[in-house]
Amino acid sequence: MDQLLKDAQRIKSLEIQGATNVAMSAIDFLSGYAKRLKYNEIGKCLEDLYKAREILNNTRPTEPAMRNGLKYIMSQLEKEKHDCSLEDIPDKIEAYKNKYRQLLLNSKKKIAEIGARRIPESDKKFIAMTHCHSSLVIAILIEARQQGKNFKVINTETQPRLQGRKTARKLLKSDIEVIHVVDSAMRWAIKHFQVDLILIGADSITSEGTVLNKIGSRLLALVAHEENIPFYVASPLLKYNPETNLGTLEKIEMRDSNEIWKDPPEGIQIVNPAFETIRRRYIDGLITEAGIFASSHVPNYFAKMYPEMVE
């Protein structure tokens, strides 16, 4: 258990980042834990694995892809528990991990394909906009560019960690024109450049169709709403957090104040929320591996595509 707690700490401390990486690592840690188990009764062993999962689940408040992954592993183990010996478990976990990774990769590919259709072929230059860094949004834009489409991307720098710079670099590398602005210029830029489409990623989605994403996302949604600009969120269904259906509220992670000000004056209170929530009324559509639809439908599509992960 000591090793698992250390492993969990690596997730907690953000040493491991990115929804897919985190999910894969958590499954590895579960598998490592399973290898170290000494029981000869499978029921007892599963019981311990559930406890280990709990520890991993609690490392980060907003990692539904990890939680859904761990649930997937456990529900598969449950199904096969009568047909397998204890030694098989680590291998089985490994096998399901690969399946789960494949689910995430497939959904990314599908989303890139679907999302790219929303960027038109036209002689007039189309203006897209994004905020922060989402590998799915980048995948959509690169797919569209590879289809020869003609567009620019407005990109916010995304203080305090400047993930917008990472986005800018990746887009430039793929031969996509980038216009870079400070976060507070988002409204001015939307109006000035007459943005046609806003695309962001998601950290988590609730049963009501609320999306949790980087701080500033809700602000951008508000401007999109005022200016009547289409606002889309690209996300695998595996970012759905089924616990929200039972009333659990997404927690907003508060990060270290020195990300914002290294040597602040004494007495100041610096608050550094990592995320904010966007209600469904501001989201024109969710782009998922199951297609494009209103975000309130996420639980239905999740249940249809991933019945083994439903509570």
Q: Which of residues 150-209 bind a copy of itself (CB under 8 A)?
A: 156-160, 165, 168-169, 172, 177-189, 191-192, 194, 207-209
Active site residue: 203, 256, 263, 284, which one? 203
Q: Quick check: 43 binds a copy of itself (CB under 8 A)?
A: no
The helix or strand, by DSSP H or E, that contains position 177, with its residue range, turns out to be: strand 177-181
Q: CB-wise, 88 or 183, nearer to a copy of itself?
A: 183
Q: Which of 214, 263, 242, 249 is nearest to 309 (CA)?
A: 242
What's the distance, Cα to Cα, between the start and end of the chain in Å? 26
C-alpha 15/C-alpha 29 separation (Å) is 14
Q: CB-wise, 10 or 297, nearer to a copy of itself?
A: 297
Choose, by CB under 8 A, the member of 216, 235, 238, 240 that binds a copy of itself: 216
CB of 215 to a copy of itself, least distance (A): 5
CB of 97 to a copy of itself, least distance (A): 29
46 CB-side CA count, 13 A? 16
Identify residues 93-132 at the interface with a copy of itself (CB under 8 A): 113-118, 120
CB of 201 to a copy of itself, least distance (A): 15
242 CB-side CA count, 13 A? 19
Active site residue: 132, 256, 263, 284, which one? 132
How many residues in the chain?
A: 311
Binding mask 51-80 for a copy of itself (x = CB under 8 A): ------------------------------
CB of 14 to a copy of itself, least distance (A): 18
Q: CB-wise, 18 or 273, nearer to a copy of itself?
A: 273
Choose, by CB under 8 A, the member of 215, 233, 238, 309 that binds a copy of itself: 215
Choose, by CB under 8 A, the member of 244, 250, 302, 306 that binds a copy of itself: 244
> Counting beta carbons within 10 angstroms of the beta carbon of residue 28, is it exposed (0 to 12), middle (13 to 18) or buried (19 or more)?
middle
CB of 232 to a copy of itself, least distance (A): 10
Which residues 6+ apart lie within 8 Å of 102 measured at CB?
none
Q: Quick check: 236 binds a copy of itself (CB under 8 A)?
A: no
Are 71 and 200 a contacting pair, CB within 8 Å? no
Q: Quick check: 219 binds a copy of itself (CB under 8 A)?
A: yes
Q: Which of 273, 271, 253 is nearest to 261 (CA)?
A: 271
Identify residues 292-311 at the interface with a copy of itself (CB under 8 A): 292-294, 296-297, 299-300
Reduced to 3 states (helix: H, G, I; strand: E, B; else coil), residue 240 is strand
C-alpha 183/C-alpha 156 separation (Å) is 5
Is-catalytic flag, 132? yes
Identify residues 251-270 at the interface with a copy of itself (CB under 8 A): 252, 260-261, 264-270
H helices of 58-120, in order, are 64-80, 88-116
Is-catalytic flag, 203? yes
CB of 80 to a copy of itself, least distance (A): 28
Sign of CA dihedral 138, 154, 132, 228: negative
C-alpha 62/C-alpha 210 separation (Å) is 13
Q: Could you list the active site residues?
A: 132, 203
